Structure formats: structure tokens, C-alpha cells
Amino acid sequence: MESCVELPMDKTSPLPIPDDAVIFSMIQPTGVIHLGNFLGAINTWKQINDKKRPDQKIIYGIADLHALTIPKKDYSSQLKTNRMEAIATLLSCGINPQVSTINFQSMVGGYHTELFWYLSCLAPLGYLNRMTQWKDKKSGDQTKERLGLFAYPVLQAADIMIYKGTHVPVGDDQSQHLELTRYLSERFNAMYNVDYFPSAKTLYSKSKKIASLSNPSKKMSKSSEDRLSMIYVTDSPESIREKIKKAKTDSISDTFYFDPVERPGVSNLLEIVSGFQQKTMKEVEKDVSQLHDYRSLKEYVSDVIIESLAPIRSNYTKYTNDKSYLESVIQQGYESSQEIAHKNLTDIKKIIGLSNDF
């Protein structure tokens, strides 16, 4: 069975997700959501939300425990703001809390971290050492390296497994972590001779990898210090035009086609258009075939982004001004996710031999 599935672009096609699926994913509250987060993950979350079938469960979390993996001094008030803004952004992007559970990971953190411990006892160090994100983010100075940054993929596995998640919509950069999740599910099942944890499938959108605008060999990333490298979903039209105008392209300026190896900058812009318009690359190439200079191409790309993000921007202002509604969404999300996590952790402890009924 395929462990990775690409979702269809066509809005009318049914999704390849079974009726009894548990769909789970999270986003870190490390800053405003950018186009990579949106096209790689959140847009897919919405697609799944909009097509939810009655017996499916959907849980989307704000991964606030993961946001601590790179500690920052005097960060608590910023984290508090980021968490609330993350909820407001998800709602603005069209996630409906009556359909999908939205929670803060830390509110049900006891369940996640307890399972994290059980899985840590099964996770080989060599496997974690090979994780690309660890290699990219570690400082190289052993005296400053933190256990949390090294071990967080195991917490991520626990986040999925505590709900017995079967389908996880993420961007391409998370594929290794999903492989680790499948590995730990198998290890646990084999160790305790049970068939308890499902093998979670990775769900990708067509735009699973959006590159930095200033350096298309890198992914668009919230932690980049270059503000021109990313477009936030709440950016003003002027800011979007400025960033697209400065986006790195190449010297072929009269024809535009998709070639991520030879023309990574242009291909990234076409990928963004394809993601927003839910059109195939062939259709996008046909649309831009009338354009024969970078000014026109970049204006075209900016127009598509500005038009697509306009409703998100206005919703965002509405939600950030309604703190009591945001709190009610979180409370409701806490109650429904806590119920599942509590039941599953009780089962897991029984399997391990940690239940108190002798």
C-alpha cells in the first residue's frame, strides 16, 4: 500500500481518504503563515475540512511545544501572541471549527509528552541523527546543542499517534518525520505484539515544496531572516508586489515555462500560481505564454496572489479582534481532542503493562 498520496487538484474530485480516517496535522506558532505553509499544507487542510465525511475525524493543532525547540530569551509574550494569531490565521484560511477540531498542542500536552516518552524508548539515536531538519538546524557546538531539537521528531510522531492518526497532510519537508512515525508505529506494534497503531499516510498537495523567493534553492521558511524571501498570507498588496518584483529569476526574459532544475526562480512563481488557481502546470504555462517580459509576468503573479489572499486578510482582521471567539474555539478543541487522547493513552498504557488494574 502507498504510504504517500498526492491529493487531486480538481475541487470536484473526491479525496482518496477513507470514511473512517483520522486526519491530523499541526503548524508551529513561530510567526505568520507564509505561502509555503499555505500552499503546502493549510490549503489541503481546508480541502479536507470542506469534504469531510460523517465518520472521519479531523484534528489540526498549533504545535506550541515544538515552537520551544529553538529557545529564545524573553519569548513568552511573543509566543502568546503567535499562538492566538495562528488560530486566527487557520480560521481566516477557512478551517471551520464546527467541522475540524483546532487545538493548542500544550493544552493536551500531558498526553502527547507521555507517549513521546514511550516512543523515545524505542527510537534509535542513529535514525534521529540522520534527520535533515536536525542537520540543518543544529549549531554544531555540542555544548549548546539541545535535546529538544534533536528529539522533536519523536514528539511529532507522538502527536500523530496519540490520536491514532491515519492521514497526515504536510509539505515535502516533513516527509522524513512521517517515515519515522510509520517506523515507530511498526516498532511499537511488533514490540508489544499488537496491531494497535495504524501506519499513517502522508498526504501531499501538488505544491508540496514552495521555495524562498530570494534563494530558490532553499525552501520558503518562517525562520529566515530575509523578509523578501517569503510572502505572508496577511501581507498587503503593496508588500506582495514589492516581494514578487524582487524575486530571483533568470536571464531568459521573453518566455516562461516550468523547469525547476534550470529555471528554479521562474518555476517557483509558476508553482505558486498553479497552487492558488488549482490549475495544472500545463494550464499555467498556457496562460503565461502571452507574456514576454518579466514585468508582465511578475505583475500577473502578484495579481493572482493578491486576489487569492484578499479574503484571508479581511477575515484575519475580523478574527484577531474577537478574542472571546478564539478562546471558545480553543476550549471546544481542547475538550474533543482531550477525550480521544485520554482514551488512547489509557489503551496504550494497558498494552505496555502500566495500567493499575492487577
Q: Considering only residues 171 through 190, tell me which ones interact with ligand AQP, judged by CB under 6 A.
A: 171, 173-174
- Cα 203 from chain centroid (whole Å): 11
Please pick, from the candidates 15, 17, 22, 27, the single residue that binds ligand AQP as defined by CB under 6 A: 27
Residue 318 annotated to the active site: no
Please pick, from the candidates 36, 61, 216, 333, the single residue that binds ligand AQP as defined by CB under 6 A: 36
For ligand AQP, give the closer residue by CB, 221 or 302. 221
Please pick, from the candidates 208, 241, 243, 263, the single residue that binds ligand AQP as defined by CB under 6 A: 208
CB 41, CB 25: distance < 8 Å = yes
Q: Is there binding between residue 220 and ligand AQP (CB under 6 A)?
A: yes
Please pick, from the candidates 200, 210, 305, 348, the single residue that binds ligand AQP as defined by CB under 6 A: 210
Quick one: three-class SS letters along the chain? CCCEEECCCCCCCCCCCCCCCEEEEEECCCCCCEHHHHHHHHHHHHHHHHCCCCCCEEEEEECCCHHHCCCCCCCHHHHHHHHHHHHHHHHHCCCCCCCCEEEEHHHHHHHHHHHHHHHHCCCCHHHHHCCHHHHHHCCCCCCCCCHHHHHHHHHHHHHHHCCCCCEEECCHHHHHHHHHHHHHHHHHHHHHCCCCCCCCEEEECCCCCCECCCCCCCECCCCCCCHHHCCECCCCHHHHHHHHHCCCCCCCCCCCCCCCCCCHHHHHHHHHHHHHHCCCHHHHHHHHCCCCCHHHHHHHHHHHHHHHHHHHHHHHHHHHCCHHHHHHHHHHHHHHHHHHHHHHHHHHHHHHCCCCCC
Q: Is there binding between residue 221 and ligand AQP (CB under 6 A)?
A: yes
For ligand AQP, give the closer residue by CB, 162 or 230. 230
For ligand AQP, give the closer residue by CB, 97 or 171. 171
Please pick, from the candidates 7, 17, 24, 30, the single residue that binds ligand AQP as defined by CB under 6 A: 30
At closest approach, how far in Å is the CB of 130 from ligand AQP? 18
For ligand AQP, give the closer residue by CB, 105 or 118. 105
Q: Is there binding between residue 28 and ligand AQP (CB under 6 A)?
A: yes
For ligand AQP, give the closer residue by CB, 258 or 325. 258
Q: Is there binding between residue 222 and ligand AQP (CB under 6 A)?
A: yes
For ligand AQP, give the closer residue by CB, 37 or 49. 37
At closest approach, how far in Å is the CB of 355 from ligand AQP? 34
Residue 243 annotated to the active site: no
- Catalytic-labelled residue, pool 164, 219, 243, 298: 219
- Catalytic-labelled residue, pool 222, 245, 248, 349: 222
CB 253, CB 294: distance < 8 Å = yes
Q: Is there binding between residue 151 and ligand AQP (CB under 6 A)?
A: no
Q: Is there binding between residue 263 and ligand AQP (CB under 6 A)?
A: no
For ligand AQP, give the closer residue by CB, 33 or 326. 33
Q: Considering only residues 40 through 69, tell me which ones interact with ligand AQP, judged by CB under 6 A.
A: 40-41, 63
Q: Which is it for strands 4-6 and 201-204: parallel, antiparallel or unpaired?
A: parallel
CB 245, CB 298: distance < 8 Å = yes
- Point out which span in 93-101, 145-153, 221-229, 291-299 binds ligand AQP (CB under 6 A): 221-229
Distances (CA, A) of 319 to 61, 117, 146, 205, 348: 17, 36, 36, 26, 38
Residue 137 annotated to the active site: yes
At closest approach, how far in Å is the CB of 136 from ligand AQP? 9
Strand order in the sheet with 101-104: 4-6, 201-204, 167-169, 22-27, 57-62, 101-104
Closest residue by beta carbon to ligand AQP:
40
Q: Is there binding between residue 170 and ligand AQP (CB under 6 A)?
A: yes
The footprint of ligand AQP on this chain (CB under 6 A) covers a number of residues equal to 20
Catalytic residues: 137, 219, 222
Enumerate binding residues for ligand AQP (CB under 6 A): 27-28, 30, 36-37, 40-41, 63, 170-171, 173-174, 208-210, 219-223
